[in-house]
Amino acid sequence: MGFDKTAIERIFKIPVVNVENFQRAVTHSSYTKENNMHFIECYERLEFLGDAVLKLTISDCLFKKFPEYSEGALSKIRSIVVSDAVLAEIAKKNGLSELIIMSRHEEKQGCRNLESVCACAFEAVLGAYYLDGKFRELLEYINTTFASYIEEVDSNSSKYNAKAVLQEYTQGLTKETPVYRVVAESGPAHKREFEVEVSYQENVIAKATGRSKKEAEQKCAYEACKILGVIK
């Protein structure tokens, strides 16, 4: 597969111990299917673990950074910071997306740049490092890497609480609330992607996708707020 552990080490600045786990962490399921390999050789199991590791480490960061914030406020910041959009942006910036191993067909389809694929690989690498016993190093890496994203979310609450902003705006006009509707679903059962549209007075304003209905609705509301001029 042409896997090089030093590329991972350069990105995360943490030594790799179990090379096989990291090879799995950057292997898309399409590659294992194309080559008749066992499903455990792709990143899905490690992504499951890494997702939990990421939420725990981000929770630790937020708990210490915002001692006066309520559980609800901390949860809102965390949900945005660990979203596919943020993880994919990091994976593309640091070069991790270029290390993902996938089938020729998926490569031609441009799947390497999909937010969901990049986010999964990122989380899978965190899972591999956790199994290497590198939790303290991960905590330091995540504190550093996610600091600017946490500051951005905290400083621009209206942008990331767009559903409430949009509802307040529409109710101020006519006392009617926006209506959200799932128009499409895709992906495997454990990794669904939802497309949602938001309408007001039966007119569709915007559409967006997300890994959950809640995430898609929030993105949709934000797009609608921009279109309506509620958020610049």
Angle at alpha carbon of residue 89, lines to 228 and 65, rounded to 5°: 85
Is there a catalytic annotation at residue 154?
A: no
Query: Looking at 44, 51, 84, 154, which residue is catalytic?
Result: 51
Q: How does pLDDT run across 143-158, given as a tens digit for each residue?
A: 999 999 999 988 887 6
The dihedral formed by the CA atoms of 218, 220, 221 and 227, expressed in degrees to the nearest 10: 150
Q: How does pLDDT run across 114-127, given as a tens digit for each residue?
A: 888 999 999 999 99
Q: How far apart are CA 198 and CA 114, in angstroms?
A: 23
Q: Are 121 and 26 contacting, i.e. CB atoms less than 8 angstroms apart?
A: yes
List CB contacts of 133: < 8 A, sequence separation 6 or more. Answer: 17
| 58, pLDDT greater than 80 | yes
Biggest distance spanned by C-alpha atoms of the chain: 61
Is there a catalytic annotation at residue 132?
A: no
Query: Looking at 47, 123, 154, 217, which residue is catalytic?
Result: 123
| 220, pLDDT greater than 90 | yes
